[in-house]
Amino acid sequence: MRIRLTLISLALVLLSACQVKTTQYPPVQPPPVAQNKGENLFWEAENYYRGHEYRRAWQTYTAYLKQNPKGPKANQARLRQADLLGLLGDWQGALRLYQELLNQGEMGAAAYQVRYGIGRAYFNLGRYQMATEVLESLTASDLPESLRFSTNALLAEIALKKREMERAFLRLRLAARDLPAGDQEWFDYLKTRLVEQATPAEMEYLINLYRDSSLTAPMILRLARLAQESDHPEEARRWLRLLKQRFPESKEAQVSENSICPPRPIVGCLLPLSGSYAKFGNRVKQGMDLAAQETHLELAYRDTSDDPARAARLVQELSQDSRIVALLGPLTSADAQTAAEAAQTVGLPLIALSQKQDLTAAGPMVFQFFLTPTLQVRALLHYTIKDRNLQRYALFTPDSAYGRTMAKVFEDELRAQGGTLVAQAVYPPDAQDFSQALSPLVDSSHPGADGALPFEALFIPDEARTVGAIATQASQMFGKVQLLGTNLAHPQPGESIPEALNGILFPDAFFINDPNPAVRSFIAAYRLRYGSDPDYLAAEGYMAVRL
């Protein structure tokens, strides 16, 4: 079937990224009295280097070395050039230059920096085993605190790359000892990565083995949050008690229990779960249950049972529970009207899932999440008149409250958009044979002088099966015209599609073949849980909860 109109799209969003900032160094000022012009060049290059002007720094170090190839700062300038090659992305060139400097054997105490540079180059080239060997051999030396911090931090980063969580943890413990001389931002980044990458089992192992290490505090907090997200509040509280017991002064322990395990807000759901509309209510409920898995909401279902007075009483009852933050439903027009009036009276927000016209006139606490008749007809006629240039229309509506509403809305919208109503007829809602009811349309359908039918489109607001039966008889009686319908004409999953429905135009909020990634994700999750395709009612329930 060709689907032409969609009024509402499912959307999702969501995305975040994490970035490690480069540490900012204060510019190094030259000594009050420089010994020579070459030394001035060196200090100028240092200022460029620490100001992250790497290409200018490279050029200035090169100028310094050209003037002073054996000057007092020559080895330091060459070391800086090796660092710069890496910072500019040429880690293979940096590795080659570091190795040349080390082989010269003239670096003195700076040889430790050269060896660290070799390890860092191997790391950035993805040669983690070589990097580990170089850096671990370096830790056996008597290193300055800042270099010892960097060496252990880089070994921790390598372990994280290799998913060796305990090794990363141990290296971070060693780095923590030299943190006053190290890079706090880098340390916090590695600690965060460790907590994010470790599995719950790995975190529990480290928490039990290294009971006194403050590095386990964020792991305990992470386990508390995971437990809460998995709907295990008691387990979350147990982890929080352990955190406060072991590390009462830590920043993690200052997180209040309510921020991790807040009382779950409850949304009251008013649906017809029994009675003549139960099949519709339960389809909406399936979508709601699926969405509830993806949120921190608790849903409290109440059966309206197609009883308007009962719907109003249920609103009153739910308003007495302070945990209820809003109401969803009802579905039917009569239930929605009484529930909306009651919700406005008690001051509880209600999002109605009914297409009843003017429902929000009950007051500012009442909202509506459904395709109303006006929205459907307006979109349908806008397309057929503006895009398809269809000007003459006929109406064939069921003799019911719904049919009369749709006929009135269609006439009003058609007049507003400049179309012409040529013919109109009604049929009994339970009819099987429509030939007699179609007679008024047949009488008006004799071709004009140009051979064209007096109407170009026929609007039938009914279910797909009924519209198909009508269309079959109509085509035999006065030929084929463009069929128009409401979202009721959308066949249910698994329902056979009558041949006569091919080409019908109707609006809807949900189409099973929508390529939108959020829609595809919803459909996949629904199929996994229920073993069938969702329909627009399930999609409506899902999106209402996601709101």
Q: Is residue 247 part of a domain?
A: yes
Closest C-alpha among 278, 465, 488, 255 to residue 370: 488
Phi, psi angle pair for 409, to nearest 5°: -60, -45
Q: DSSP of 494-545, one letter per residue?
A: TPPPPGGGTT-B---S--TT---HHHHHHHHHHHHHHSS---HHHHHHHHHH
For residue 25, pLDDT over 50 is answered with no
pLDDT of residue 261: 63
Closest C-alpha among 496, 429, 447, 427 to residue 468: 496
pLDDT of residue 450: 54
**Tokens found for residue 257:** 């229990």
Q: Is residue 529 part of a domain?
A: no
pLDDT of residue 412: 96
pLDDT of residue 255: 76
Q: Is residue 312 part of a domain?
A: yes
The answer on 287 and 250 residing in a single domain is no
Of 462, 480, 501, the residue that ends a domain is: 501
Tens-place pLDDT, residues 140-161: 999 999 999 999 999 999 999 9
- Domain range for 395 is 373-501
Task: Assign 95 to helix, strand or coil.
Answer: helix
Q: What angle do CA 93, 99, 102 make, to 5 degrees?
A: 145
Q: Which of 103-112, 161-170, 468-477, 532-541 has the highest mean pLDDT?
A: 161-170
For residue 24, pLDDT over 70 is answered with no
The answer on 258 and 270 residing in a single domain is no
95 vs 70: CA distance, rounded Å = 22
414 vs 224: CA distance, rounded Å = 59
For residue 27, pLDDT over 70 is answered with no
Q: Could you tell me the maximum CA-CA distance found in the chain, to the nearest angstrom?
A: 112
The answer on 282 and 255 residing in a single domain is no
Q: Report the amino acid identity of residue 1.
A: M
For residue 68, pLDDT over 70 is answered with yes
The answer on 255 and 234 residing in a single domain is yes
For residue 2, pLDDT over 70 is answered with no
The answer on 209 and 285 residing in a single domain is no
Q: DSSP of 46-88, one letter per residue?
A: HHHHHTT-HHHHHHHHHHHHHH-TTSTTHHHHHHHHHHHHHHT
pLDDT of residue 234: 84
What average pLDDT score do residues 384-399 get?
95
pTM of the predicted protein model: 0.49
The answer on 256 and 354 residing in a single domain is no
271 vs 284: CA distance, rounded Å = 8
Q: Is residue 165 part of a domain?
A: no
- Helix H segments across 198-332? 200-209, 217-229, 233-246, 257-260, 278-292, 308-319
Contacts 24+ apart (CB under 8 A), 20-29: 20/185, 20/186, 20/189, 21/185, 22/52, 23/183, 23/185, 23/186, 25/50, 25/51, 26/50, 27/51
pLDDT of residue 12: 25
Of 322, 350, 368, the residue that ends a domain is: 368
For residue 112, pLDDT over 50 is answered with yes
For residue 58, pLDDT over 50 is answered with yes
For residue 378, pLDDT over 80 is answered with yes
Closest C-alpha among 142, 159, 150 to residue 83: 150
What average pLDDT score do residues 232-245 get?
90
**Tokens found for residue 228:** 């809460």
Tens-place pLDDT, residues 313-330: 999 999 999 889 999 999
Q: Is residue 89 part of a domain?
A: no
Read off the pLDDT band of 18 (50, 70, 90).
very low
What average pLDDT score do residues 282-305 get?
92
What average pLDDT score do residues 404-418 get?
95
Tens-place pLDDT, residues 466-514: 999 999 999 888 888 999 999 888 877 666 777 888 899 999 888 888 8
The answer on 445 and 476 residing in a single domain is yes
Helix axis angle for 308-319 and 333-346, nearest 10°, is 30
pLDDT of residue 455: 92
Of 341, 368, 395, the residue that ends a domain is: 368
Structural domain tally of the chain? Answer: 3
For residue 16, pLDDT over 50 is answered with no
- 258 vs 233, higher pLDDT: 233
510 vs 11: CA distance, rounded Å = 12
Q: Is residue 67 part of a domain?
A: no
The answer on 429 and 312 residing in a single domain is no
Q: Is residue 170 part of a domain?
A: no
43 vs 38: CA distance, rounded Å = 9
State what percent of residues in the chain have pLDDT above 70. Answer: 89
Q: How far is CA 442 from the centre of its chain?
A: 53
The answer on 390 and 325 residing in a single domain is no
For residue 190, pLDDT over 50 is answered with yes
pLDDT of residue 439: 87
Radius of gyration (C-alpha) of the chain in whole angstroms: 36
The answer on 472 and 378 residing in a single domain is yes
Read off the pLDDT band of 257 (50, 70, 90).
low
The answer on 218 and 313 residing in a single domain is no
Q: Is residue 14 part of a domain?
A: no
Read off the pLDDT band of 9 (50, 70, 90).
very low
Read off the pLDDT band of 33 (50, 70, 90).
very low
Read off the pLDDT band of 50 (50, 70, 90).
very high
Q: Report the amino acid identity of residue 431.
A: A
Read off the pLDDT band of 448 (50, 70, 90).
low
CATH of the domain at 493: 3.40.50.2300
191 vs 204: CA distance, rounded Å = 16
Q: Which residues contact 177 (CB under 8 A, 6 or more apart)?
A: none
pLDDT of residue 501: 86
Residues written for the chain: 547
The answer on 293 and 228 residing in a single domain is no
